[in-house]
Homo-oligomer: A and B are copies of this chain.
Amino acid sequence: MADIVLSPRLRPSPFVDGVETAGPRAYTVYNHMRLPLIYESLEADCAHLKTRVQVWDVAAERQVQLAGPDALRLLQWTTPRDLSKVRPGVCAYIPVCDETGGLLNDPVALCLAPDRWWLSLADSDILLWAKGLALGAGLDVAVDEPDVSPLAVQGPMAEDLVARLFGDGVRDIRPFHFRRLPFAGAAHVVARTGWSKQSGFEIFVEGSEHGPGLWDALMDRGQDLGVRPGAPNAIERVEAGLLSYGNDITREHTPYQAGMARFCHPDRVDCLGRETLLHEANHGPPRQIRCLTVAGDALAPPQRVWPVTAGDAPAGRVASAVWSPEFGTNIAVGMIERAHWQPGARLSVETPDGPRDAVVREKFFR
């Protein structure tokens, strides 16, 4: 491993003091921010996440706000998901596409009002994309990055902890819905979302000055629940088949290839990349995300993309792979060519230590 040089360009979050006191072992960088990834170890962090409750500094999921009469028009232009029935209080997972149908991001869009949306982003400057489209087309919409930073509370004890701060009403929030709730003299969006398949919430902290108090209150009020700082966990999310933009899916891939067909309606929405998307809707994509199991002892996660082959033929790529202690196997997220994606297909993954046998599964583990 090598060090990371932390400079102001890798922006600290409002929760930086709590994070640095806890002392993460490893970071990545995401949307020009530092994103803590490992506290004790991937395995220990994962085991804790599955049994207790963790507080994650995911401020790096930057928000882009679209506000004004043309907000929905702008958003609908760049996603094939039909947003016409999305109401305030709903979080809509949306593919964001360019004119080729290639994925630029896969944010959660929060509908605050019919003319005001937040995009809670994966790792790319959708601020510049949305501003560019709006300026170019002369749309009547303000695009900016508000001072809003998500803090995730994830794990089986998450609901109890969040209820202690925001009230028992949070228990009634349905998945991919949110309410704006008061805490300590401010109000924040509390959404039942998060990048794990454990139960949990994301609190969208409005105003950086409220970050440290909320962090401390969660740590304080959650002591008996075993709360500790945590992070999006590579093991848990690969077991669950949650995709990482920039790793598993990129600008080279369409939403259909990413397995997002249920979030695509190119038949009734006139969005960028519509022609490509209609074609893939009608004929199926040429490759698609698949869960693979990979033979042998525990793999270290890929630092570069690993090619996948079927005999001598190229069969796809793997960008995420982990050893799962719970399931006792290596699990990989593959982008697999159509000829080789049927469950049971036997493939080979080129790891740095040589080829490994792999098998396509019907679905992910969770």
Contacts and interface: CB of A to CB of B under 8 A. Distances in A.
Given A3-B4, A9-B247, A27-B2, A131 B129 contact: yes
A7 B247 contact: yes
B125 A16 contact: no
How many copies of the shown chain assemble into the complex? 2
Interface string A160-198: 000000000000000000000000000000000000000
B136 A16 contact: no
Interface residues of A, number: 53
A23 B27 CA distance: 19
A313 interface: no
A32 interface: yes
A8 B303 contact: yes
A27 B1 CA distance: 10
A12 B16 CA distance: 28
A37 interface: yes
Interface in A102-120: 104
A305 interface: yes
A47 to B, nearest CB: 19
A67 interface: no
Interface in A26-81: 26-29, 32, 37-38
A244 B6 CA distance: 14
Chain A interface mostly helix, strand, loop or mixed?
Answer: loop
Contact of A7 (B7, B28, B129): B28
Contacts of A305: 8
A178 to B, nearest CB: 27
Nearest to A7: B247
A29 B28 contact: yes
Contacts of A138: 136
B9 A27 contact: no
Contacts of A130: 132
A98 interface: yes
A88 interface: no
A14 to B, nearest CB: 12
Contacts of A99: 131, 135
Contacts of A304: 8, 12, 16
A33 to B, nearest CB: 10
A5 B38 contact: yes
A18 interface: no
Contact of A302 (B7, B123, B133, B302): B7
B8 A302 contact: yes
Nearest to A12: B304
B32 A3 contact: no
Interface string A298-317: 00011111000000000000
A345 interface: no
A89 interface: no
Contact of A10 (B28, B104, B135): B28
18 contacts: A2-B4, A2-B23, A5-B27, A5-B28, A7-B28, A7-B320, A9-B245, A9-B246, A10-B29, A28-B29, A32-B123, A32-B124, A98-B131, A98-B135, A99-B131, A129-B129, A136-B137, A136-B138
Interface of A: 1-10, 12, 16, 23-29, 32, 37-38, 98-99, 104, 123-126, 128-139, 244-247, 272, 301-305, 319-320
